[in-house]
């Protein structure tokens, strides 16, 4: 580790993937093409729940240009999935949501493929559909999966009929905690289903070679996960499946799981030609992996002076027709429900519930915004009821250095108080209602830096530049720039000397993948390990050349220096090519497990937050009382990032996370009626644009984590968590109305004001 001032880490250097993206030369999976490629399309269910009485593809097969039509009869009868294996490639005998794949076609043109879809004949016999959480949980509700008990699942899940997991945290004695309280507050919240809104649709090209090996070019965030899932689905050895990620136009959790890769692979095998499958906006908004809508119930006991004595909370995730990420997301939610607060008595439960809707998944800080919206809205309600300043109520209860998290983990590097005070000061919190119809709001939270292992190879090229070879994908966060900054710092080279080769299951080492705010953290640490390995080789070689001891050597300025002598990395790399196969090293990292009290958790897939981050958001806004329109004057994020590896890209992550969060807060929802999506297009599904975005002020707080490179913590997901709660609290402050359902649209505000007679 360098003893001098850092040269590369901590600097706002241009991101390595930037130039290609802004000049339009970067190749995304959606751009990827091969000669002779066919177009693949998916035929999808138009019924929320029905038996397939007849499925006839003969007419479609006979159309000109059509090369294959496949149904469940043409693929192995396997169920796949993450914690719970309940999915099939195509519906088998029964459809469970509008949008579920029933068949797929490959044709020479898009027009021919669409004609084939139109020519597939299907007759359904409708079954009673379960359209929301209440219906799914009602006694005697129809089962979405009658055979649920026979599915393969990880043993920790608690399943029962339409509930595909129930996760629980119990601490102390919640009933006694309520007895100690002076006031008890009970509220119910609701959040809508929202899409990740990645710019590039899901896309995959598959091609088979004569040895029976398939290569899939995909925009997945997790090439190794997709490789394994394809192995299950295709019933093949993973070593015959190569997944390559050419580039990703945003993922945000929506591209974690197999999306269209399996359709491309099956169709390519059936036709003997490369096949490309790419989704439409309508498919994205009806049949992707959006964020679950939720219902949250919170019961919180407090003393008169605002000390929280107990909290009971339940959150139900409408996870759709298959479990998807639901069992894990329901688990993570309980840690968010506890909040970044010290509460001696807790009884918290998260439920993942099947309904006849699209299969929900993961979205940037999965469960975070939904649970945080409830927790942080209620904190403001309690403060108002007790006549306390919401900032003071938070400061009275937040976790601090050395405190225990809800499951007993010991918290360190806790920058939460600093975040709260700085965010509040930045919006002049002391003047909370500067004008009529104007209000300010705060929200705070905590989040994890996801574990999992990362490996890298590092090679010194004969010109002295460096290849960083990683299994992680650059999903647009600039996290691989961050990892490369660590490598450049430790090797004594410049960032411009590093070239990244990434995300190819055949040629790059394993990585747990671009998910969970982990990439710069884990790949950065793997780079540090690789430099340790490389130093041994380089110093031995240099010592022999320079006539010094290896212990005297150090790396700086692209050279090995020792006893006033020097030799360049380029010379050493060339020397090694002649004598030792070149200079190459390996580094691996896996975050050490976080100790927690296992007696406090049950059915829990994610019992502790590793190297947690802490954050506070503050917003100053006005309402138009006629229209309900919200104008945000200022939005502030104070985030404890541990160490700001590259302040500019962290600011970019924060601005982007806030944009997505404001979408969920104010305008976005996939609206279902009778099991059908009413707004499956980007006109009626309203994401914010640059014109809607307020100025976002970023305050980077740095309490170095014990594990991250240079003290870094995960930064990508957190900024998406607090916007709904911060906005709801500011709207309440501006209008004296408390809206407990997301999104808080202008229409909802205007109607609530009218109903209140204001």
Polymer length in residues for the chain? 758
CB atoms within 10 A of CB 254: 23
Q: How far apart are CA 326 and CA 722, in angstroms?
A: 21
CB burial of residue 210 (10 Å; 0-12, 13-18, 19+): exposed
Contact criterion met (CB below 8 Å) for 720 and 517? no
Q: Closest by alpha carbon to 439, among 745, 737, 749, 733?
A: 733
CB of 366 to ligand MOS, least distance (A): 5
Q: Is 515 in the site for ligand MOS (CB under 6 A)?
A: yes
Stretch that binds ligand MOS, among 26-34, 129-137, 358-366, 743-751 (CB under 6 A): 358-366
Q: Is 82 in the site for ligand MOS (CB under 6 A)?
A: no
Residues near 662 by beta carbon (within 8 Å), at least 6 away in sequence:
632, 635, 688, 692, 693, 694, 723, 727
CB of 515 to ligand MOS, least distance (A): 3
Stretch that binds ligand MOS, among 212-220, 251-259, 350-358, 615-623 (CB under 6 A): 251-259
Q: Is 48 in the site for ligand MOS (CB under 6 A)?
A: no
CB of 171 to ligand MOS, least distance (A): 26
CB of 514 to ligand MOS, least distance (A): 7
Q: How far is CA 631 from CA 391, 474, 732, in A?
A: 23, 34, 14
Q: Which residue is nearest to ligand MOS (CB)?
A: 253
Rank residues 229 and 702 by Cβ distance to ligand MOS and give the closer one: 229
Q: Is 366 in the site for ligand MOS (CB under 6 A)?
A: yes
Rank residues 465 and 660 by Cβ distance to ligand MOS and give the closer one: 660
φ/ψ (deg, to 5) at 646:
-150, 95
Stretch that binds ligand MOS, among 16-24, 360-368, 503-511, 685-693 (CB under 6 A): 360-368
CB of 221 to ligand MOS, least distance (A): 6
Stretch that binds ligand MOS, among 154-162, 362-370, 626-634, 658-666 (CB under 6 A): 362-370
Q: CA-based Rg of the chain, rounded to a whole angstrom?
A: 27
Q: How far apart are CA 419 and CA 441, in angstroms?
A: 14
Q: Among residues 256, 298, 343, 423, which is the contact residue for ligand MOS, using CB under 6 A? A: 256
Q: How far apart are CA 212 and CA 204, in angstroms?
A: 18
Q: Among residues 408, 516, 587, 711, which is the contact residue for ligand MOS, using CB under 6 A? A: 516
Give Cα 728 to chain centroid, integer Å: 23
Q: Is 290 in the site for ligand MOS (CB under 6 A)?
A: no
Q: Is 203 in the site for ligand MOS (CB under 6 A)?
A: no
Q: How far apart are CA 531 and CA 612, in angstroms?
A: 26
Q: Among residues 220, 227, 319, 362, which is the contact residue for ligand MOS, using CB under 6 A? A: 362
CB of 194 to ligand MOS, least distance (A): 13
Stretch that binds ligand MOS, among 96-104, 128-136, 246-254, 626-634 (CB under 6 A): 246-254
CB of 362 to ligand MOS, least distance (A): 4
Q: How far is CA 428 from CA 579, 638, 651, in A?
A: 66, 14, 21
Q: Closest by alpha carbon to 259, among 203, 196, 329?
A: 203
Q: Is 364 in the site for ligand MOS (CB under 6 A)?
A: yes
Q: How far apart are CA 254 and CA 572, in angstroms?
A: 44
Rank residues 422 and 615 by Cβ distance to ligand MOS and give the closer one: 615
Q: Residue 29: enclosing H or E segment and its boundaries? A: none
Rank residues 301 and 368 by Cβ distance to ligand MOS and give the closer one: 368
Rank residues 238 and 452 by Cβ distance to ligand MOS and give the closer one: 452
Determine if residue 113 is left, alpha or beta; phi over 0 gives left, psi from -120 to 50 gives alpha, anything else beta.
alpha
Q: Is 49 in the site for ligand MOS (CB under 6 A)?
A: no
CB of 470 to ligand MOS, least distance (A): 17
CB of 659 to ligand MOS, least distance (A): 16
Q: Could you give the string, one character per residue 207-226, with x where binding to ligand MOS holds by CB under 6 A and - elsewhere? A: --------------x-----
Q: How far apart are CA 134 and CA 723, in angstroms?
A: 27
Rank residues 334 and 450 by Cβ distance to ligand MOS and give the closer one: 450
If binding means CB under 6 A, how many residues of this protein chain bind ligand MOS? 11
Stretch that binds ligand MOS, among 228-236, 245-253, 651-659, 728-736 (CB under 6 A): 245-253
Stretch that binds ligand MOS, among 143-151, 247-255, 301-309, 658-666 (CB under 6 A): 247-255
CB of 550 to ligand MOS, least distance (A): 41
Task: For the segment 147-186, give every residue that binds ligand MOS (CB under 6 A).
Answer: none
Rank residues 162 and 359 by Cβ distance to ligand MOS and give the closer one: 359
Q: Is 291 in the site for ligand MOS (CB under 6 A)?
A: no
CB atoms within 10 A of CB 590: 14
Contact criterion met (CB below 8 Å) for 442 and 733? no
CB of 618 to ligand MOS, least distance (A): 25
Contact criterion met (CB below 8 Å) for 274 and 38? yes
Rank residues 99 and 253 by Cβ distance to ligand MOS and give the closer one: 253
3-state secondary structure of 477: coil
Rank residues 67 and 291 by Cβ distance to ligand MOS and give the closer one: 291
Rank residues 217 and 363 by Cβ distance to ligand MOS and give the closer one: 363
Q: DSSP states of 263-309 as a string?
A: HHHHHHHHHTS-EEEE--HHHHHHHS--BPEEEEEEEEEE-TT--EE
For residue 217, list its beta bridge partners.
Answer: 205, 244
CB burial of residue 122 (10 Å; 0-12, 13-18, 19+): buried
Contact criterion met (CB below 8 Å) for 639 and 719? yes
Rank residues 465 and 664 by Cβ distance to ligand MOS and give the closer one: 664
Q: Is 253 in the site for ligand MOS (CB under 6 A)?
A: yes
Q: Is 363 in the site for ligand MOS (CB under 6 A)?
A: yes
Q: How far is CA 501 from CA 21, 56, 294, 472, 484, in A?
A: 17, 46, 40, 9, 11
Instruction: Give residues in contact with ligand MOS (CB under 6 A).
Output: 221, 251-253, 256, 362-364, 366, 515-516
């Amino acid at each position: 580790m360098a003893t001098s001032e850092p040269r590369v880490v901590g600097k706002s250097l241009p991101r390595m993937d930037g130039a290609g993206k802004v000049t339009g030369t970067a190749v995304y999976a959606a751009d990827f093409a091969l000669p002779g490629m066919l177009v693949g399309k998916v035929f999808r269910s138009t019924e929320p729940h029905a038996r397939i009485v007849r499925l006839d593809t003969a007419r479609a097969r006979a159309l000109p240009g059509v090369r294959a039509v496949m149904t469940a009869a043409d693929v192995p009868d396997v169920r796949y999935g993450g914690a719970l294996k309940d999915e099939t490639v195509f519906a088998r005998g029964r459809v469970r949501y509008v949008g579920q794949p029933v068949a797929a076609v490959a044709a020479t043109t898009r027009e021919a493929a669409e004609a084939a879809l139109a020519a597939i004949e299907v007759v359904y016999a409708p079954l009673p559909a379960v359209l929301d959480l209440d219906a799914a949980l009602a006694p005697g509700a129809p089962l979405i999966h009658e055979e649920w008990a026979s599915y393969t699942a990880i043993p920790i899940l608690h399943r029962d009929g339409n509930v595909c997991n129930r996760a629980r945290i119990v601490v102390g004695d919640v009933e006694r905690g309520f007895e100690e309280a002076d006031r008890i507050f009970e509220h119910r919240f609701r959040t809508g289903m929202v899409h990740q809104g990645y710019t590039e649709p899901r896309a995959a090209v598959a091609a088979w070679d004569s040895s029976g090996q398939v290569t899939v070019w995909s925009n997945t965030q997790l090439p190794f996960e997709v490789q394994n899932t394809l192995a299950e689905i295709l019933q093949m050895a993973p070593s015959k499946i190569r997944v390559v990620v050419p580039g990703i136009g945003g993922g945000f959790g929506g591209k974690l799981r197999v999306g269209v890769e399996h359709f491309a692979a099956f169709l390519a095998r059936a036709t003997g030609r490369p096949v490309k499958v790419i989704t439409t906006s309508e498919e994205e908004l009806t049949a992707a992996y959006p964020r679950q809508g939720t219902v949250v119930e919170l019961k919180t006991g407090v003393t008169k002076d605002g000390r929280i004595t107990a909290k009971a909370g339940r959150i139900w995730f409408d996870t759709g027709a298959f479990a998807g990420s639901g069992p894990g997301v329901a688990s993570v939610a309980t840690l968010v429900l506890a909040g970044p607060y010290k509460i001696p008595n807790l009884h918290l439960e998260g439920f993942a519930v099947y309904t006849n809707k699209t299969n929900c998944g993961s979205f940037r800080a999965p469960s975070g915004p939904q649970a945080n919206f409830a927790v942080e809205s209620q904190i403001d309600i309690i403060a108002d009821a007790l006549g306390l300043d919401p900032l003071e109520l938070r400061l009275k209860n937040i976790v601090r250095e050395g405190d225990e998290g809800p499951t007993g983990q010991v918290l360190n590097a806790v920058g939460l108080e600093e975040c709260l005070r700085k965010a509040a000061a930045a919006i002049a919190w002391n003047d909370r209602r500067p004008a009529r119809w104007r209000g300010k709001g705060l929200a705070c939270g905590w989040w994890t830096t996801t574990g999992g292992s990362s490996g890298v190879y590092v090679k010194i090229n004969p010109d002295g530049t460096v290849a960083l070879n990683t299994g992680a994908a650059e999903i647009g966060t600039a996290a691989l720039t961050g990892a490369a900054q660590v490598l450049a710092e430790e090797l004594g080279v410049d960032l411009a000397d590093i070239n990244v080769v990434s995300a190819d299951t055949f040629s790059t080492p394993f990585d747990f993948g671009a998910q969970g705010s982990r990439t710069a953290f884990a790949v950065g640490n793997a780079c540090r390990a690789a430099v340790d390995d490389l130093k041994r080789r380089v110093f031995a070689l240099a010592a022999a050349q320079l006539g010094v001891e290896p212990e005297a050597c150090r790396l700086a300025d692209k050279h090995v220096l020792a006893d006033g002598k020097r030799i360049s990395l380029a010379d050493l790399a060339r020397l090694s090519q002649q004598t030792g196969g070149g200079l190459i090293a390996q580094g691996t990292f896996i975050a050490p497990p976080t100790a927690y009290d296992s007696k406090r958790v049950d059915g829990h897939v994610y019992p502790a937050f590793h190297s947690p981050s802490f954050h506070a958001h503050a917003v100053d806004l006005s309402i138009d009382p006629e229209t309900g329109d919200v104008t945000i004057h200022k939005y502030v994020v104070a985030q404890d990032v541990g160490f700001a590896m590259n302040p500019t890209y962290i600011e970019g992550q924060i601005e982007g996370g806030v944009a997505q969060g404001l979408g969920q807060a104010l305008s976005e929802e996939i609206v279902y009626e009778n099991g059908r999506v009413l707004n499956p297009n980007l006109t009626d599904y309203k994401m914010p644009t640059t014109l809607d975005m307020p100025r976002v002020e970023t305050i980077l707080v740095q309490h170095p984590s014990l594990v991250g490179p240079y003290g870094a913590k995960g930064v990508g997901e957190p900024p998406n968590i607090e916007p709904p709660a911060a906005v709801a609290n500011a709207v309440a402050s501006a209008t004296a109305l408390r809206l407990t359902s997301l999104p808080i649209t202008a229409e909802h505000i205007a109607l609530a004001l009218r109903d209140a007679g204001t």
